[in-house]
Amino acid sequence: MPALGPTLGPGHLSQPQPDPNSSPCTPGVPAAPHSAQKPRASGPFVRGQRASLARGDANYLLMGPPSPAPLIVCVHGLNGSISSFESLAPRLAELGFRVLCFDLYGFGLSAAPSGRLDLQAYVDQVSALLQAVKVPPAEKVLLLGFSMGGVIAVEFALRFPDRVAKLLLVAPGGLLQRSKTPCQPLLFGCLRTRLGGLLLASATALACCCSCCARRALAGDKLADRFELDVREPEKFKNVARQNGERFLWNFRRSVNSYLRVLRRMPLWSDDFQDSYARLAKGSVPTLFVWGDSDCTVPFSEAEHAVRDLFSPVGVSCCMLPESGHGLLIEDAEQVSSIASAWFHDLKDPAWIGFLARWRLTPSSAAPTVLGAV
């Protein structure tokens, strides 16, 4: 099961952001429609611009050079936010891209609308946000999906292939094995059944009553320990882990409710989403995978068989970062940004072409037993 804490890190996006009713942060790009409401307290989250969408406001940041610079749309994972890309996005902007980061519904400072938080809701949010920030329908975007955001990015590419120039999937969800998921009876025997609504309501009510108790129980170093990052050297990111915990506890009731609503409806497991990956492999959108070979949150070992068998026939590569965990967007942001830039710029440099060839997927029966270093 995906861990509670997203992979976040200190960086440029944590700096004070402009008021949501001010001009857009990227010159030459018109602002999205803004709500007339006064800005809410940002708490531990990054406040960017606010777009009024059909199901509620979306908090977003648009950075980098103006159009016609290519636009990368970054989609975060479960329990993440704009901050998930705060180490990566500035690097991509410096490399010549416009970068759009936003909070998915239910997370960060975006609305938590009633109804389902499912794949349809999130694909619709991406589509509506592109319209809100005035991206022309004829302009193809570059999609970067991380963890659960990879599932959303895949589905968007399947539904709107003419809108996606290239796809980069960083440790994507949708291929986890149910047999290796913790809390299987509770998750698959209750939350994802008709009884799930009752469990969701009960857990939300309990979170509302126990928020003060949760804060006391996770005081001091306990908070950082509970939200420890999946990285090589967790001690270096204690402060980041603490920030993750503060974000989760900031509105404990909402955090628990959104987390469970997503787990109830999103297709994070292979049984639910492998067919979509099969359609992607047969489709027209160029795709590249990036994975940490030490990822304990979305282990490549659980997805390897499907990824190799579906994508090796069409020459797709999967770049493995040695000793990287699920926190590769913070711990290895420079390397991920270099790969993303070369991929999205369609670099023709022989070294890059050789790099892709080195990591070209082979069928699972022919896969090497030991992964090499990047």
In this predicted structure, the answer to whether residue 6 has a pLDDT above a threshold of 60 is no
Instruction: State residue 151's pLDDT score.
Output: 98
Instruction: State residue 214's pLDDT score.
Output: 86
CB 287: neighbour CB atoms within 10 A? 23
Contact 325, 294 (CB under 8 A): yes
**Which CATH superfamily hosts domain 12-178+268-366?**
Alpha/Beta hydrolase fold, catalytic domain (3.40.50.1820)
Listed by start position, the domains of the chain span 12-178+268-366, 180-265
Among residues 301, 310, 263, 251, which one has the least CA distance to residue 283?
Answer: 310
In this predicted structure, the answer to whether residue 72 has a pLDDT above a threshold of 90 is yes
When mean pLDDT is compared across 79-83, 218-222, 300-304, 320-324, the lowest value belongs to 218-222
Give the total residue count for the chain.
374
Tally the C-alpha atoms within 13 A of residue 179's C-alpha that lie toward its C-beta.
2
Tokens linked to 82: 């704009």
Instruction: State residue 62's pLDDT score.
Output: 97
Given pLDDT bands bounded at 50, 70 and 90, which one contains residue 71?
Answer: very high
Contact 53, 122 (CB under 8 A): no
Residue with more model confidence, 13 or 317: 317
When mean pLDDT is compared across 115-124, 193-202, 365-374, the lowest value belongs to 365-374
In this predicted structure, the answer to whether residue 370 has a pLDDT above a threshold of 80 is no
Q: Collapse the DSSP code of 136 into the 3-class scheme (helix H, G, I; strand E, B; otherwise coil) and give the result.
A: coil
CB 353: neighbour CB atoms within 10 A? 12
Contact 70, 98 (CB under 8 A): yes
Looking at residues 89-98, what average pLDDT do you find? 98
Orientation angle between helical segments 196-217 and 238-250, nearest 10 degrees: 130
* Helices (H), ranges, the chain: 89-94, 119-132, 148-159, 184-186, 196-217, 221-226, 238-250, 252-265, 270-282, 300-311, 328-331, 333-344, 350-358
Question: Tens of pLDDT along 305-326?
Answer: 999 999 999 999 999 999 999 9
Question: Tens of pLDDT along 234-291?
Answer: 999 999 999 999 999 999 999 999 999 999 999 999 999 999 999 999 999 999 999 9
CB 179: neighbour CB atoms within 10 A? 10
Given pLDDT bands bounded at 50, 70 and 90, which one contains residue 215?
Answer: confident
d(CA 247, CA 42): 10
Question: Tens of pLDDT along 168-210?
Answer: 999 999 999 999 999 999 999 999 999 999 999 999 999 999 8
d(CA 168, CA 336): 10
Instruction: State residue 221's pLDDT score.
Output: 84
In this predicted structure, the answer to whether residue 28 has a pLDDT above a threshold of 90 is no
In this predicted structure, the answer to whether residue 84 has a pLDDT above a threshold of 80 is yes
* Helices (H), ranges, 100-251: 119-132, 148-159, 184-186, 196-217, 221-226, 238-250
In this predicted structure, the answer to whether residue 134 has a pLDDT above a threshold of 60 is yes
Looking at residues 89-111, what average pLDDT do you find? 98
Average pLDDT, the chain: 88
Looking at residues 327-353, what average pLDDT do you find? 97
Instruction: State residue 218's pLDDT score.
Output: 86
Beta-sheet strand order (sheet of 98-102): 49-53, 56-63, 98-102, 71-75, 141-146, 164-170, 287-292, 318-321
Instruction: State residue 17's pLDDT score.
Output: 34
Left, alpha or beta for 346 (phi > 0: left; psi -120 to 50: alpha)? left
Global pTM value: 0.87
Given pLDDT bands bounded at 50, 70 and 90, which one contains residue 22?
Answer: very low
In this predicted structure, the answer to whether residue 18 has a pLDDT above a threshold of 80 is no
